[in-house]
Chain A
Amino acid sequence: MKVHQIMTKDLTSMEKDTLVRGLIFTLDNAGMSNMPIVDEEGKLIGFISEKDLIKAALPGYFEMLHSTSFIPDMNQLVKKLAQIADDPIEKYMQHDVICVEEDDDDLQAADLIIRKDLKSLPVIDKERRLVGVVKRIDLLRHLL
Protein backbone atom coordinates (compact mmCIF):
# COMPACT_ATOMS: atom_id res chain seq x y z
CA MET A 1 0.00 0.00 0.00
CA LYS A 2 1.17 3.55 -0.73
CA VAL A 3 1.54 6.26 1.90
CA HIS A 4 -1.23 8.43 0.38
CA GLN A 5 -3.66 5.56 0.90
CA ILE A 6 -3.09 5.41 4.64
CA MET A 7 -2.16 8.98 5.61
CA THR A 8 -4.35 11.48 7.45
CA LYS A 9 -5.24 14.11 4.89
CA ASP A 10 -4.60 17.10 7.12
CA LEU A 11 -2.63 20.19 6.13
CA THR A 12 -2.44 21.82 9.55
CA SER A 13 0.96 23.49 9.50
CA MET A 14 2.64 26.75 10.48
CA GLU A 15 5.11 29.23 9.07
CA LYS A 16 8.48 29.70 10.76
CA ASP A 17 7.67 33.16 12.14
CA THR A 18 4.70 31.85 14.18
CA LEU A 19 5.21 32.47 17.88
CA VAL A 20 5.76 29.61 20.33
CA ARG A 21 2.55 30.55 22.21
CA GLY A 22 0.56 30.21 18.94
CA LEU A 23 2.11 26.81 18.34
CA ILE A 24 1.27 25.59 21.85
CA PHE A 25 -2.34 26.82 21.44
CA THR A 26 -2.81 24.86 18.21
CA LEU A 27 -1.03 21.72 19.45
CA ASP A 28 -3.26 21.78 22.52
CA ASN A 29 -6.56 22.49 20.75
CA ALA A 30 -6.01 20.31 17.69
CA GLY A 31 -4.69 17.44 19.83
CA MET A 32 -1.40 17.29 17.94
CA SER A 33 2.02 16.51 19.34
CA ASN A 34 4.08 18.08 16.58
CA MET A 35 3.74 20.53 13.73
CA PRO A 36 5.10 20.62 10.18
CA ILE A 37 6.59 24.00 9.24
CA VAL A 38 6.07 25.18 5.67
CA ASP A 39 7.14 28.14 3.53
CA GLU A 40 4.83 30.46 1.57
CA GLU A 41 4.54 27.87 -1.19
CA GLY A 42 3.38 25.21 1.28
CA LYS A 43 6.71 23.38 0.97
CA LEU A 44 7.98 21.54 4.02
CA ILE A 45 10.97 23.31 5.58
CA GLY A 46 10.92 22.15 9.20
CA PHE A 47 9.25 20.28 12.00
CA ILE A 48 8.71 21.00 15.67
CA SER A 49 7.47 18.73 18.44
CA GLU A 50 6.36 19.12 22.05
CA LYS A 51 9.67 17.52 22.91
CA ASP A 52 11.57 20.32 21.12
CA LEU A 53 9.68 22.91 23.16
CA ILE A 54 10.27 21.16 26.47
CA LYS A 55 13.94 20.84 25.63
CA ALA A 56 14.10 24.54 24.79
CA ALA A 57 12.50 25.46 28.10
CA LEU A 58 14.65 23.24 30.29
CA PRO A 59 17.97 24.27 31.77
CA GLY A 60 21.01 23.68 29.58
CA TYR A 61 22.37 20.87 31.73
CA PHE A 62 19.12 18.84 31.31
CA GLU A 63 20.52 16.54 28.66
CA MET A 64 23.22 15.40 31.05
CA LEU A 65 20.63 14.27 33.58
CA HIS A 66 19.13 10.80 33.62
CA SER A 67 15.94 11.86 35.32
CA THR A 68 13.85 15.02 35.55
CA SER A 69 13.71 14.51 39.31
CA PHE A 70 17.13 16.19 39.38
CA ILE A 71 15.56 19.48 38.23
CA PRO A 72 15.62 21.55 41.43
CA ASP A 73 12.48 23.53 40.85
CA MET A 74 9.55 23.37 38.37
CA ASN A 75 9.27 27.16 38.52
CA GLN A 76 12.48 27.32 36.53
CA LEU A 77 10.78 25.46 33.67
CA VAL A 78 7.67 27.65 33.86
CA LYS A 79 9.74 30.84 33.82
CA LYS A 80 11.82 29.68 30.86
CA LEU A 81 8.69 28.67 28.94
CA ALA A 82 7.24 32.14 29.53
CA GLN A 83 10.50 33.62 28.24
CA ILE A 84 10.35 31.72 24.96
CA ALA A 85 6.57 32.13 24.41
CA ASP A 86 7.04 35.11 22.11
CA ASP A 87 9.96 33.66 20.17
CA PRO A 88 9.39 32.53 16.59
CA ILE A 89 9.21 28.75 16.29
CA GLU A 90 12.03 28.91 13.76
CA LYS A 91 14.41 29.18 16.71
CA TYR A 92 13.53 25.73 18.02
CA MET A 93 12.39 23.79 14.94
CA GLN A 94 14.24 20.87 13.39
CA HIS A 95 15.57 21.85 9.96
CA ASP A 96 16.41 18.31 8.82
CA VAL A 97 12.91 16.92 8.55
CA ILE A 98 12.28 13.21 8.40
CA CYS A 99 9.42 12.77 5.92
CA VAL A 100 8.05 10.46 3.23
CA GLU A 101 6.62 11.04 -0.24
CA GLU A 102 2.99 10.26 -0.95
CA ASP A 103 3.91 7.45 -3.36
CA ASP A 104 6.36 5.76 -1.00
CA ASP A 105 5.40 2.37 0.43
CA ASP A 106 3.64 2.26 3.79
CA LEU A 107 6.43 -0.02 5.03
CA GLN A 108 8.95 2.77 4.57
CA ALA A 109 6.79 5.06 6.71
CA ALA A 110 6.35 2.34 9.35
CA ASP A 111 10.08 1.70 9.43
CA LEU A 112 10.87 5.39 10.00
CA ILE A 113 8.21 5.82 12.67
CA ILE A 114 9.48 2.78 14.59
CA ARG A 115 13.20 3.31 14.16
CA LYS A 116 13.17 7.03 14.86
CA ASP A 117 10.51 6.74 17.58
CA LEU A 118 8.22 9.30 15.89
CA LYS A 119 4.56 9.97 16.66
CA SER A 120 3.88 11.19 13.14
CA LEU A 121 5.61 11.78 9.87
CA PRO A 122 4.91 14.57 7.35
CA VAL A 123 4.00 13.44 3.82
CA ILE A 124 5.07 15.52 0.81
CA ASP A 125 4.45 15.48 -2.94
CA LYS A 126 7.09 15.57 -5.70
CA GLU A 127 7.40 19.34 -5.26
CA ARG A 128 7.95 18.95 -1.50
CA ARG A 129 4.54 20.43 -0.66
CA LEU A 130 2.87 19.08 2.45
CA VAL A 131 -0.04 16.77 1.53
CA GLY A 132 -0.71 15.00 4.84
CA VAL A 133 0.76 13.16 7.80
CA VAL A 134 1.17 9.51 8.71
CA LYS A 135 0.51 8.84 12.37
CA ARG A 136 1.23 5.72 14.36
CA ILE A 137 -2.53 5.20 14.59
CA ASP A 138 -2.86 5.35 10.77
CA LEU A 139 -0.45 2.43 10.53
CA LEU A 140 -2.20 0.46 13.25
CA ARG A 141 -5.64 1.10 11.71
CA HIS A 142 -4.51 -0.16 8.33
CA LEU A 143 -2.71 -3.16 9.78
CA LEU A 144 -5.92 -4.34 11.43
Chain B
Amino acid sequence: MIITVTPNPAIDKMYWVDRLKMGRVTREEFLTRAIRSDTSAGGKGINISIFLARMGVENVAMGFVGGHTGHVVVRDLREEGVTTNFVWVNGETRTNVTVFERERAHIPILIDEEGSPVSQEEISYFLRRYKRMLKRATWVVLAGSLPPEVDADLYRVLAEMATEAGAKVLVSAHGNALTNALHAVPYLVKPDTREHLSMEGAPLTTRSKIITAGRRIIETGVRILVVSHEVTGDIVITRDTIWEIKSRVKTTQFKNLVGADDVLLGGILYMLDKGEDLEEALRFGMAAGILSAESDKKICQNTEKIEEEMAHISLERI
Protein backbone atom coordinates (compact mmCIF):
# COMPACT_ATOMS: atom_id res chain seq x y z
CA MET B 1 0.00 0.00 0.00
CA ILE B 2 1.15 3.54 -0.77
CA ILE B 3 1.00 6.10 2.04
CA THR B 4 1.22 9.82 1.36
CA VAL B 5 2.03 12.29 4.14
CA THR B 6 1.02 15.93 3.67
CA PRO B 7 1.82 17.71 6.95
CA ASN B 8 0.51 21.06 5.70
CA PRO B 9 -2.47 20.36 3.40
CA ALA B 10 -4.53 23.07 1.77
CA ILE B 11 -7.65 23.96 -0.06
CA ASP B 12 -6.55 25.00 -3.55
CA LYS B 13 -8.74 27.88 -4.69
CA MET B 14 -8.21 28.66 -8.37
CA TYR B 15 -9.48 31.67 -10.28
CA TRP B 16 -9.35 32.36 -14.01
CA VAL B 17 -9.51 36.06 -14.89
CA ASP B 18 -8.98 38.21 -17.96
CA ARG B 19 -6.44 40.37 -16.20
CA LEU B 20 -5.65 40.88 -12.55
CA LYS B 21 -5.89 44.59 -11.85
CA MET B 22 -2.97 45.04 -9.52
CA GLY B 23 -2.64 48.85 -9.59
CA ARG B 24 -5.97 50.29 -8.50
CA VAL B 25 -6.24 53.40 -10.64
CA THR B 26 -9.95 53.94 -10.92
CA ARG B 27 -12.90 52.91 -8.81
CA GLU B 28 -13.90 50.30 -11.41
CA GLU B 29 -10.54 48.58 -11.00
CA PHE B 30 -11.23 47.63 -7.39
CA LEU B 31 -13.04 44.59 -8.66
CA THR B 32 -11.73 41.70 -10.73
CA ARG B 33 -14.44 39.30 -11.79
CA ALA B 34 -13.43 35.67 -12.21
CA ILE B 35 -14.46 34.05 -15.47
CA ARG B 36 -14.32 30.70 -13.72
CA SER B 37 -13.22 29.26 -10.40
CA ASP B 38 -12.55 25.87 -8.89
CA THR B 39 -11.80 24.43 -5.46
CA SER B 40 -10.02 21.22 -4.56
CA ALA B 41 -8.19 19.49 -1.74
CA GLY B 42 -4.51 20.24 -2.19
CA GLY B 43 -0.98 19.89 -0.95
CA LYS B 44 1.72 17.86 -2.68
CA GLY B 45 1.04 14.49 -1.07
CA ILE B 46 -2.71 14.92 -1.39
CA ASN B 47 -2.39 15.66 -5.11
CA ILE B 48 -0.37 12.47 -5.54
CA SER B 49 -3.00 10.53 -3.55
CA ILE B 50 -5.81 11.83 -5.75
CA PHE B 51 -3.91 10.96 -8.94
CA LEU B 52 -3.15 7.44 -7.69
CA ALA B 53 -6.77 6.87 -6.62
CA ARG B 54 -7.95 7.96 -10.08
CA MET B 55 -5.51 5.41 -11.52
CA GLY B 56 -7.16 2.76 -9.33
CA VAL B 57 -4.32 2.51 -6.79
CA GLU B 58 -5.37 2.02 -3.15
CA ASN B 59 -3.58 4.56 -0.99
CA VAL B 60 -3.84 6.25 2.38
CA ALA B 61 -3.45 10.00 2.89
CA MET B 62 -2.05 11.13 6.24
CA GLY B 63 -1.18 14.47 7.81
CA PHE B 64 -2.80 17.15 9.94
CA VAL B 65 -6.14 18.85 9.30
CA GLY B 66 -8.26 21.32 11.21
CA GLY B 67 -11.38 23.44 11.10
CA HIS B 68 -13.89 23.88 8.31
CA THR B 69 -11.30 23.66 5.54
CA GLY B 70 -9.95 20.48 7.12
CA HIS B 71 -13.38 18.90 6.65
CA VAL B 72 -13.39 19.99 2.98
CA VAL B 73 -9.98 18.34 2.43
CA VAL B 74 -11.07 15.07 4.03
CA ARG B 75 -14.42 15.02 2.19
CA ASP B 76 -12.74 15.65 -1.19
CA LEU B 77 -10.26 12.84 -0.60
CA ARG B 78 -12.97 10.36 0.38
CA GLU B 79 -14.99 11.26 -2.68
CA GLU B 80 -11.91 10.49 -4.77
CA GLY B 81 -11.63 7.05 -3.12
CA VAL B 82 -8.55 7.88 -1.05
CA THR B 83 -8.44 6.33 2.44
CA THR B 84 -7.96 9.08 5.03
CA ASN B 85 -6.04 8.92 8.29
CA PHE B 86 -5.48 12.49 9.50
CA VAL B 87 -4.75 13.88 12.93
CA TRP B 88 -7.17 16.67 13.82
CA VAL B 89 -5.50 19.77 15.22
CA ASN B 90 -6.45 23.17 16.57
CA GLY B 91 -6.63 25.87 13.92
CA GLU B 92 -7.71 25.89 10.32
CA THR B 93 -6.22 24.05 7.34
CA ARG B 94 -4.78 26.70 5.02
CA THR B 95 -6.18 27.98 1.72
CA ASN B 96 -3.85 28.55 -1.25
CA VAL B 97 -5.01 30.86 -4.02
CA THR B 98 -3.91 30.64 -7.65
CA VAL B 99 -4.92 33.22 -10.24
CA PHE B 100 -4.59 32.44 -13.94
CA GLU B 101 -4.71 35.39 -16.32
CA ARG B 102 -5.87 34.86 -19.90
CA GLU B 103 -2.95 33.83 -22.14
CA ARG B 104 -0.58 33.87 -19.16
CA ALA B 105 -1.76 30.68 -17.45
CA HIS B 106 1.78 29.26 -17.59
CA ILE B 107 2.88 32.02 -15.17
CA PRO B 108 0.12 31.94 -12.53
CA ILE B 109 -0.02 34.19 -9.47
CA LEU B 110 0.18 32.16 -6.25
CA ILE B 111 -0.79 33.21 -2.74
CA ASP B 112 0.03 30.43 -0.29
CA GLU B 113 -0.93 30.66 3.38
CA GLU B 114 1.55 29.51 5.98
CA GLY B 115 -0.82 27.07 7.67
CA SER B 116 -1.72 26.48 11.31
CA PRO B 117 0.92 25.43 13.84
CA VAL B 118 1.06 21.80 14.93
CA SER B 119 2.05 21.04 18.53
CA GLN B 120 4.59 18.47 19.70
CA GLU B 121 1.75 16.50 21.30
CA GLU B 122 -0.02 16.32 17.95
CA ILE B 123 3.22 15.24 16.25
CA SER B 124 3.65 12.44 18.84
CA TYR B 125 0.10 11.31 18.23
CA PHE B 126 0.72 11.32 14.46
CA LEU B 127 3.93 9.28 14.86
CA ARG B 128 2.05 6.47 16.60
CA ARG B 129 -0.51 6.29 13.80
CA TYR B 130 2.21 6.51 11.16
CA LYS B 131 4.14 3.65 12.78
CA ARG B 132 0.98 1.52 12.66
CA MET B 133 0.42 2.32 8.99
CA LEU B 134 4.02 1.51 8.03
CA LYS B 135 3.26 -2.16 8.67
CA ARG B 136 1.14 -2.08 5.48
CA ALA B 137 3.33 0.27 3.40
CA THR B 138 5.33 -0.44 0.24
CA TRP B 139 5.96 3.25 -0.59
CA VAL B 140 5.80 6.35 1.57
CA VAL B 141 5.49 9.81 0.00
CA LEU B 142 6.62 12.74 2.17
CA ALA B 143 5.61 15.87 0.36
CA GLY B 144 5.14 19.60 0.69
CA SER B 145 5.97 22.25 3.25
CA LEU B 146 5.92 21.71 7.00
CA PRO B 147 3.42 23.57 9.20
CA PRO B 148 4.73 26.42 11.39
CA GLU B 149 6.52 25.38 14.60
CA VAL B 150 7.23 21.89 13.29
CA ASP B 151 10.85 20.73 13.50
CA ALA B 152 12.57 20.71 10.10
CA ASP B 153 13.77 17.20 10.99
CA LEU B 154 10.28 15.68 10.64
CA TYR B 155 10.82 14.25 7.15
CA ARG B 156 14.16 12.72 8.17
CA VAL B 157 12.49 10.96 11.11
CA LEU B 158 9.56 9.75 8.98
CA ALA B 159 11.87 8.61 6.16
CA GLU B 160 14.06 6.63 8.56
CA MET B 161 11.03 4.95 10.12
CA ALA B 162 9.69 4.02 6.68
CA THR B 163 13.01 2.62 5.46
CA GLU B 164 13.35 0.58 8.64
CA ALA B 165 9.86 -0.82 8.03
CA GLY B 166 10.91 -1.87 4.53
CA ALA B 167 9.09 0.82 2.51
CA LYS B 168 10.62 2.92 -0.26
CA VAL B 169 10.53 6.66 0.37
CA LEU B 170 9.80 9.52 -2.02
CA VAL B 171 10.51 13.06 -0.77
CA SER B 172 9.28 16.21 -2.50
CA ALA B 173 10.13 19.25 -0.40
CA HIS B 174 12.36 22.28 -0.09
CA GLY B 175 14.65 24.07 2.38
CA ASN B 176 15.79 22.48 5.63
CA ALA B 177 13.01 19.87 5.55
CA LEU B 178 14.56 18.52 2.34
CA THR B 179 18.18 18.95 3.43
CA ASN B 180 17.54 17.01 6.64
CA ALA B 181 15.47 14.33 4.86
CA LEU B 182 18.44 13.61 2.59
CA HIS B 183 20.30 12.22 5.62
CA ALA B 184 17.76 9.39 5.69
CA VAL B 185 18.71 8.52 2.08
CA PRO B 186 15.26 8.37 0.45
CA TYR B 187 14.77 6.27 -2.70
CA LEU B 188 13.44 9.11 -4.86
CA VAL B 189 13.88 12.84 -4.32
CA LYS B 190 12.39 15.84 -6.09
CA PRO B 191 13.37 19.23 -4.71
CA ASP B 192 10.56 21.77 -4.84
CA THR B 193 12.23 24.61 -6.75
CA ARG B 194 9.22 26.89 -7.20
CA GLU B 195 10.58 29.49 -4.79
CA HIS B 196 14.31 28.83 -4.65
CA LEU B 197 16.30 27.26 -7.45
CA SER B 198 18.64 25.52 -5.03
CA MET B 199 19.18 22.33 -3.08
CA GLU B 200 21.40 22.09 0.00
CA GLY B 201 22.64 25.58 -0.83
CA ALA B 202 23.77 24.59 -4.33
CA PRO B 203 22.16 26.47 -7.25
CA LEU B 204 19.95 24.53 -9.67
CA THR B 205 19.80 27.23 -12.33
CA THR B 206 21.50 25.55 -15.29
CA ARG B 207 21.76 22.03 -16.62
CA SER B 208 25.40 21.67 -15.56
CA LYS B 209 24.73 23.03 -12.05
CA ILE B 210 21.79 20.63 -11.63
CA ILE B 211 24.01 17.72 -12.68
CA THR B 212 26.84 18.73 -10.32
CA ALA B 213 24.50 19.13 -7.32
CA GLY B 214 22.53 16.03 -8.30
CA ARG B 215 25.57 13.76 -8.55
CA ARG B 216 26.53 14.72 -5.01
CA ILE B 217 23.08 13.66 -3.76
CA ILE B 218 23.20 10.39 -5.67
CA GLU B 219 26.60 9.59 -4.13
CA THR B 220 24.93 9.55 -0.70
CA GLY B 221 22.78 6.61 -1.79
CA VAL B 222 19.63 8.30 -3.12
CA ARG B 223 18.53 6.17 -6.10
CA ILE B 224 16.61 8.65 -8.25
CA LEU B 225 16.75 12.46 -8.30
CA VAL B 226 14.26 14.42 -10.40
CA VAL B 227 14.88 18.16 -10.86
CA SER B 228 12.67 20.58 -12.76
CA HIS B 229 14.81 22.35 -15.33
CA GLU B 230 12.32 24.06 -17.58
CA VAL B 231 8.53 24.14 -17.36
CA THR B 232 8.32 21.37 -19.96
CA GLY B 233 11.48 19.50 -19.07
CA ASP B 234 13.17 17.76 -16.15
CA ILE B 235 16.58 16.30 -15.45
CA VAL B 236 16.73 12.85 -13.86
CA ILE B 237 19.90 11.55 -12.25
CA THR B 238 20.63 8.00 -11.11
CA ARG B 239 23.92 6.28 -10.27
CA ASP B 240 24.35 5.05 -13.86
CA THR B 241 22.47 7.49 -16.05
CA ILE B 242 21.44 11.10 -16.48
CA TRP B 243 18.41 11.87 -18.62
CA GLU B 244 16.83 15.04 -19.85
CA ILE B 245 13.10 14.50 -20.29
CA LYS B 246 11.35 16.93 -22.58
CA SER B 247 7.86 17.50 -23.84
CA ARG B 248 7.09 19.17 -27.17
CA VAL B 249 4.10 20.99 -25.72
CA LYS B 250 4.27 24.79 -25.75
CA THR B 251 3.85 26.43 -22.37
CA THR B 252 1.16 28.67 -23.87
CA GLN B 253 -1.06 25.56 -24.11
CA PHE B 254 -1.09 25.23 -20.33
CA LYS B 255 -4.36 25.98 -18.56
CA ASN B 256 -3.84 24.81 -14.99
CA LEU B 257 -0.38 24.17 -13.58
CA VAL B 258 -1.61 23.53 -10.02
CA GLY B 259 -0.55 20.03 -9.01
CA ALA B 260 0.99 19.20 -12.42
CA ASP B 261 4.39 18.60 -10.81
CA ASP B 262 2.78 16.27 -8.28
CA VAL B 263 1.01 14.38 -11.06
CA LEU B 264 4.45 13.88 -12.66
CA LEU B 265 5.65 12.26 -9.43
CA GLY B 266 2.38 10.34 -9.06
CA GLY B 267 2.85 8.97 -12.59
CA ILE B 268 6.44 7.88 -11.89
CA LEU B 269 5.37 6.27 -8.61
CA TYR B 270 2.39 4.53 -10.26
CA MET B 271 4.68 2.90 -12.82
CA LEU B 272 7.49 1.99 -10.40
CA ASP B 273 4.96 0.46 -8.00
CA LYS B 274 3.69 -1.69 -10.90
CA GLY B 275 7.26 -2.89 -11.46
CA GLU B 276 7.83 -0.98 -14.72
CA ASP B 277 11.35 0.20 -15.55
CA LEU B 278 12.45 3.74 -14.77
CA GLU B 279 12.53 5.01 -18.38
CA GLU B 280 8.90 4.03 -18.92
CA ALA B 281 7.98 5.49 -15.52
CA LEU B 282 9.62 8.82 -16.39
CA ARG B 283 7.91 8.98 -19.77
CA PHE B 284 4.55 8.17 -18.19
CA GLY B 285 5.03 10.67 -15.35
CA MET B 286 5.99 13.51 -17.66
CA ALA B 287 3.07 12.74 -20.02
CA ALA B 288 0.64 12.71 -17.08
CA GLY B 289 2.02 15.99 -15.73
CA ILE B 290 1.81 17.69 -19.12
CA LEU B 291 -1.77 16.48 -19.68
CA SER B 292 -2.73 17.77 -16.26
CA ALA B 293 -1.26 21.21 -17.03
CA GLU B 294 -3.13 21.26 -20.33
CA SER B 295 -6.52 20.58 -18.78
CA ASP B 296 -8.79 23.03 -16.98
CA LYS B 297 -9.32 20.68 -14.06
CA LYS B 298 -6.55 20.11 -11.55
CA ILE B 299 -5.03 16.60 -11.67
CA CYS B 300 -6.24 15.28 -14.97
CA GLN B 301 -6.21 11.53 -15.37
CA ASN B 302 -6.96 9.77 -18.63
CA THR B 303 -4.80 6.69 -19.10
CA GLU B 304 -5.43 6.53 -22.85
CA LYS B 305 -4.42 10.14 -23.38
CA ILE B 306 -1.39 9.76 -21.12
CA GLU B 307 -0.24 6.81 -23.21
CA GLU B 308 -0.77 8.84 -26.41
CA GLU B 309 1.16 11.75 -24.92
CA MET B 310 4.06 9.41 -24.01
CA ALA B 311 4.93 9.22 -27.72
CA HIS B 312 5.75 12.95 -27.63
CA ILE B 313 8.05 12.76 -24.63
CA SER B 314 11.73 12.60 -25.46
CA LEU B 315 14.19 10.98 -23.08
CA GLU B 316 17.72 11.97 -23.95
CA ARG B 317 20.73 10.47 -22.18
CA ILE B 318 23.27 13.12 -21.25
A6 at the interface (CB under 8 A from B): no
CB atoms of A41 and B132 under 8 A apart = yes
A136 to B10, CA, bound (A): 29
CB atoms of A12 and B133 under 8 A apart = no
Across chains A and B, which 6 residue pairs bring their CB atoms closest together, nearest first? A11-B85, A9-B83, A29-B88, A42-B132, A30-B88, A10-B84
Find residues 143-165 in chain B having any chain A CB closer than 8 Å to their own CB: none
A31 to B66, CA, bound (A): 11
User: Given the complex, which residues of B lie within 8 Å of A41, measured CB to CB?
Assistant: 132, 135
Given contacts A22-B125, A25-B88, A31-B71, contact A8 B132 (CB under 8 A): no
Query: B148 CB to closest chain A CB, in angstroms?
Result: 19
A93 to B132, CA, bound (A): 20
CB atoms of B83 and A132 under 8 A apart = yes
Given contacts A9-B83, A10-B78, A29-B66, contact A42 B60 (CB under 8 A): no
CB atoms of B84 and A12 under 8 A apart = yes
Instruction: Tell me the dominant secondary structure on chain A's binding face.
Output: mixed
CB atoms of A40 and B86 under 8 A apart = no
Across the two chains, which residue of chain A brings its CB closest to B62? A11
Query: B264 CB to closest chain A CB, in angstroms?
Result: 25
Across the two chains, which residue of chain B brings its CB closest to A27? B88
Across the two chains, which residue of chain A brings its CB closest to B66? A29
A8 to B85, CA, bound (A): 11
A51 to B161, CA, bound (A): 37
Given contacts A40-B132, A41-B135, contact A9 B88 (CB under 8 A): no
A8 to B86, CA, bound (A): 14
Across the two chains, which residue of chain B brings its CB closest to A25? B88
B81 at the interface (CB under 8 A from A): yes
User: Given the complex, which residues of A lie within 8 Å of B88, measured CB to CB?
Assistant: 12, 25-26, 29-30
Find residues 62-113 in chain A having any chain B CB closer than 8 Å to their own CB: none
Q: State which size class the interface on B falls in.
A: 20 to 34
Give 1 or 0 for each of A4-16: 1 = CB within 8 Å of chain B CB.
0000111111010
Given contacts A11-B60, A26-B88, A29-B66, contact A42 B83 (CB under 8 A): no
CB atoms of B128 and A15 under 8 A apart = yes
Chain B residues near A (Cβ < 8 Å): 60, 66-67, 70-71, 74, 78, 81-86, 88-89, 125, 128-129, 131-133, 135-136
User: Given the complex, which residues of B lie within 8 Å of A12, measured CB to CB?
Assistant: 84-86, 88
Give 1 or 0 for each of A23-47: 1 = CB within 8 Å of chain B CB.
0011001110000001011100000
Q: How many chain A residues touch the partner (CB < 8 A)?
A: 20
A36 to B31, CA, bound (A): 49
Across the two chains, which residue of chain B brings its CB closest to A28? B88
User: Given the complex, which residues of A lie within 8 Å of B83, measured CB to CB?
Assistant: 9-11, 131-132
CB atoms of A42 and B78 under 8 A apart = no
Find residues 93-144 in chain A having any chain B CB closer than 8 Å to their own CB: 129, 131-132
User: Given the complex, which residues of A lie within 8 Å of B128, measured CB to CB?
Assistant: 15
CB atoms of B84 and A42 under 8 A apart = no
User: Given the complex, which residues of A lie within 8 Å of B86, measured CB to CB?
Assistant: 12
User: Given the complex, which residues of A lie within 8 Å of B82, measured CB to CB?
Assistant: 9
Contact of B78 among A9, A22, A131 (CB under 8 A): A9
A12 to B128, CA, bound (A): 12
User: Given the complex, which residues of A lie within 8 Å of B74, measured CB to CB?
Assistant: 10
Interface centre among B78, B81, B84 (most CB of A within 10 A): B84
Q: Besides the contacts A9-B83, A13-B129, A29-B70, what 5 more A-B pairs have beta carbons closer than 8 Å?
A: A11-B84, A29-B88, A29-B89, A30-B88, A40-B131
Sampled A-B contacts (22; CB under 8 Å): A9-B78, A9-B81, A9-B82, A9-B84, A10-B74, A10-B78, A10-B83, A11-B83, A11-B84, A11-B85, A12-B84, A12-B86, A15-B128, A22-B125, A25-B88, A29-B67, A31-B71, A38-B132, A40-B131, A41-B132, A42-B135, A42-B136
